Amino acid sequence: MSVSTEKDDSARVPLWNDPNVRGLVSQIVLIAFIVWFGYELFSNYASNIAKRNIATGFGFLSTTAGFSIAQTLIPYTEESSYGQAFLVGLLNTLLVSGIGIFFATILGVLLGIARLSKNWIIAKLATMYVETLRNIPLLLQIYFWYVAVLGVLPMPRNAASLLDSFYLHKRGLSMPKPIFDSAAVIVLLALIAAIVLVVFLSRWSRKRQEATGEQFPVFLSSLGILIALPVVAYFLSGSPIHLEYSVLKGFNFRGGMTLIPEFMALLLALVLYTASFIAEIVRAGIQAVSHGQTEAAGALGLRPGQILRQVVIPQALRVIIPPLTSQYLNLTKNSSLAAAIAYPDVMHTFAGIVLNQTGQAVEIILITMAVYLTISLLTSMFMNWYNAKIALVER
Amino acid sequence: MKKLMVTAALGAVMGLAAGAASAGTIEDVKAKGFVQCGVSQGLPGFSNPDDKGNWTGLDVDVCRAVAAAVFGDASKVKYTPLSAKERFTALQSGEIDMLSRNTTWTATRDTALGLNFAGVNYYDGQGFMVRKSLGVSSALELSGAAVCTNTGTTTELNVADYFRSHKMPYEIVAFEKSDEVVQAYNAGRCDVYTTDASGLYAQRLKLTKPDEHIVLPEIISKEPLGPVVRQGDDQWFNLVKWSLFAMVNAEEMGVTSANVDEMKKSTNPAIRRLLGVEGKFGENMGVSNDWAFNIVKQVGNYGEAFDRNVGPKTPLGIARGVNALWSKGGIQYAPPIR
Ligand SMILES: N[C@@H](CCC(=O)N[C@@H](CS)C(=O)NCC(=O)O)C(=O)O
């Protein structure tokens, strides 16, 4: 039926007044314009670069880098290529962002709950924290922690030591490095098995609780499994993991592994800063759950901890997740301020050193932008998936 | 509305296209009335602003010499402070007309970045600075040291070569800005501060206790520092190149800012050509024939510039060494003006 009315319409109005045709035409024009604009930009760039004899293309990625990098998660030497230097920088970005998101979430949730505490001092302290930290520019905080970290710590010769295996000094935190023999695979397998087991256990216990109302101590038993299984595997396979200790040799500590102060300062700044925003998101999320819910749950005889875990948090999460996602994205993008204190992230190593040594600004900036875009898109995809999963299921 | 957008977009594209016009720097400079010169963010003796914002230094004097050649007025320069990382992009994009910022002449920079080096105004080499309390007297004792330096420099490549070829482990901490390097070294983040030897002497003045630090004897690289221009504008390249040569030639002929008026009456044909009494050397470069006279009168010859900015009587106290004239045991040498 609708088809026939549409036909009637188009018969009556002239083509240029038909909204469908107009819409189509204007979209084609827009796309043509964007393509033309892009082409124009590119050809202009190409001819300018050629005129100025500036090297172009992505060939530089396989040329020898020739410089060294302070923190490398994959094998890298001065003989490695610019492409490998890029990977080193990328992994360093992912490392500081990943660990940063983890700790910022924990701290943020604690602070958010603390802000709602009935204990006046705790609530006020949390408010003070949030209001101070989120109102000071992050770059300033990064500098502050870097200068503070460097200023307070002793020289390596007088390093503060813990258990004769951890040493804190101006060059970082030196600690033992685990060395894995080939038999360590068994321990890894045991760990995976333990995780699978825990997942099954929690599903089973939830089903049983829904069916019978009986509870099972999931947390404690999971913890037991996660620890016991790998430990047993470790001893059965003949202790395949041992530690390489850091020792003071000459000026500095050698062996083991060292967290560089740039990493510590950047992580500290990112975590403390982002946590202040997450705290507000968590507080708002919890407050969004109407008080009636808590009271109703209380009337049903649930204990306060249960009310928080079973009633309030699941509902609050729906409010919390979307803004939390932007905080995760912010933290990742903010990690590019690393260059200010020489933490070798992708911005500092690739868009900094490599750009300057090769002079290929356009290619390098394009790659760097693509990196941040990809990380951000992947993070939001994951968070959207999680958000959909916990969304209210209407029955 | 759409029309507006198209116009704006066209404008943007044309703007980009306009950026492409690279030849004719000398006309551009004359039209705007000053030379835009890229310098460091503050390196005493080479390019450093005083508290009133006046720039001085050996590198600054090259900018001033070019302005003297173009305008007959050495003060017609505007300075753009640039970090090591920013400098080449600024020159490539046309933000500055020339770069005079302790920049090392290397093959990559000369051939792949679209740049031309217009000579060498300071022959340098890379050195190491350490705390005296470390008890180190040679760079070969630096195995395992933490080394602070600048990113985007030849320095970070040389130091990698040096430690690698001597099979010494080390840890590099590379900052974008020199002040950050100084601060980190000062705070004890590193055992060693490495950069051009001239830079070490200059930066040492910024440390809390300069006397507690020494520069080690090893010089691990060749760092010929000089002014840079874009490729593709030979006239401008010539002018910058010969402005520097004029300073060196003037020193060789004994022409100074004090006696240059006098020297105009000289019967020595080389001096007469230098000062524009004979020949049309200025015209050939697109400036007036008294270009070199103006340079020497207002900026001084190379030796004067050296002594005033970095020489033994300045806080830097650098001896002429290899930067002495070729006739005095150094390697500063300029082709003849004829
Ligand atoms: N000559 C080297 C190093 C140049 C360089 O950037 N040196 C630093 C340390 S002396 C510097 O000039 N700093 C002053 C500043 O950044 O303003 C090069 O051209 O790559």
Task: Specify the CATH number for the domain of residue A293.
Answer: 1.10.3720.10
Residues of A in contact with B156 (CB under 8 A): 67-68, 353
Q: B190, B221, B252: which is the final residue of a domain?
A: B221
Q: Could you tell me whether strands A166-169 and A172-175 are parallel, antiparallel, or unpaired per DSSP bridges?
A: antiparallel
Structural domain contains residue A324: yes
Query: Is residue A5 predicted with pLDDT exceeding 80?
Result: no
Residues A124, A259, single domain; the answer is yes
pLDDT at A229: 84
Structural domain contains residue B200: yes
User: Is residue B175 within 8 angstroms of chain A, CB to CB?
Assistant: yes
pLDDT tens sequence across B77-86: 999 999 888 8
Q: Specify the ligand 1 atom closest to the Cα of B203.
A: 10
Residues B37, B119, single domain; the answer is yes
- Least-confidence region, from A60-74, B11-25, B177-191, B292-306: B11-25
Structural domain contains residue B14: no
Residues B232, B108, single domain; the answer is yes
pTM equals 0.82
Structural domain contains residue B1: no
Query: Is residue B1 predicted with pLDDT exceeding 50?
Result: no
Residues A169, A20, single domain; the answer is no
What whole-number percentage of chain B has pLDDT above 70?
93
Residues A44, A86, single domain; the answer is no
Placement of tokens 């321990």 in the chain: A187
Residues A111, A31, single domain; the answer is no
pLDDT at B206: 86
Residues found in chain A: 395
Q: Which domain holds residue A351?
A: 82-176+245-390
Residues B112, B34, single domain; the answer is yes
Residues B233, B116, single domain; the answer is yes
Residues B230, B254, single domain; the answer is yes
Report the run of H or E that residue B167 belongs to, with start and end: none
How many domains does chain A contain in total? 2
Q: B180, B198, B221: which is the final residue of a domain?
A: B221
Residues A169, A27, single domain; the answer is no
Residues A272, A167, single domain; the answer is yes
pLDDT tens sequence across A84-110: 999 999 999 999 999 999 999 999 999
Structural domain contains residue B12: no
Report the run of H or E that residue A125 belongs to, with start and end: helix A120-133
Q: Which of B3, B13, B151 best probes binding to A when mutated, by most A CB atoms within 10 angstroms?
A: B151
Residues B276, B290: contact at Cβ < 8 Å?
Answer: yes
> How big is the A-B interface in CB pairs under 8 Å?
137
Residues A278, A376, single domain; the answer is yes
- pLDDT-based confidence at A395, cuts 50/70/90? low
Check which CATH number belongs to the domain holding B315 and give it: 3.40.190.10
Structural domain contains residue B64: yes
Contacts of A332 (CB under 8 A, 6+ apart): A93, A97, A101, A372, A375, A376, A379
How many domains does chain B contain in total? 2
Q: Which domain holds residue B244?
A: 23-123+225-328
Residues B57, B174, single domain; the answer is no
pLDDT at A2: 45
Residues B117, B130, single domain; the answer is no
CA distance B137 to A75: 33
pLDDT tens sequence across B216-250: 989 999 999 999 999 989 999 999 999 999 999 99
φ/ψ region of B119 (left if φ > 0, alpha if ψ in -120 to 50, else beta) reads left
Residues A143, A275, single domain; the answer is yes
Nearest residue, CB atoms, A353 vs list B6, B13, B174: B174
Q: Could you tell me whether strands B146-150 and A247-249 are parallel, antiparallel, or unpaired per DSSP bridges?
A: unpaired
Residues B267, B291, single domain; the answer is yes
| Ligand 1 binding pocket includes B198 (Cβ within 6 Å) | no
pLDDT tens sequence across A259-279: 889 999 999 999 999 999 999
pLDDT at B5: 45
- pLDDT-based confidence at A228, cuts 50/70/90? confident
Structural domain contains residue B5: no
Placement of tokens 């080479």 in the chain: B46
Residues B285, B238: contact at Cβ < 8 Å?
Answer: yes
Structural domain contains residue B338: no
Contact between chains at A51 and B22 (C-beta distance less than 8 A): yes
Structural domain contains residue B336: no
What whole-number percentage of chain A has pLDDT above 90?
33
Residues A116, A250, single domain; the answer is yes
Residues A15, A139, single domain; the answer is no
Residues B176, B318, single domain; the answer is no
Residues B180, B195: contact at Cβ < 8 Å?
Answer: no
pLDDT tens sequence across B161-175: 999 999 998 989 999
What whole-number percentage of chain A has pLDDT above 70?
96
Q: Which of the pair, B288 or A159, is modelled with greater confidence? A: B288
CA of A360 to the centre of ligand 1 (A): 20
CA distance A191 to A224: 12
Q: Which letter does DSSP use for residue B206 in this model?
A: T
Q: Specify the ligand 1 atom closest to the Cα of B181.
A: 9
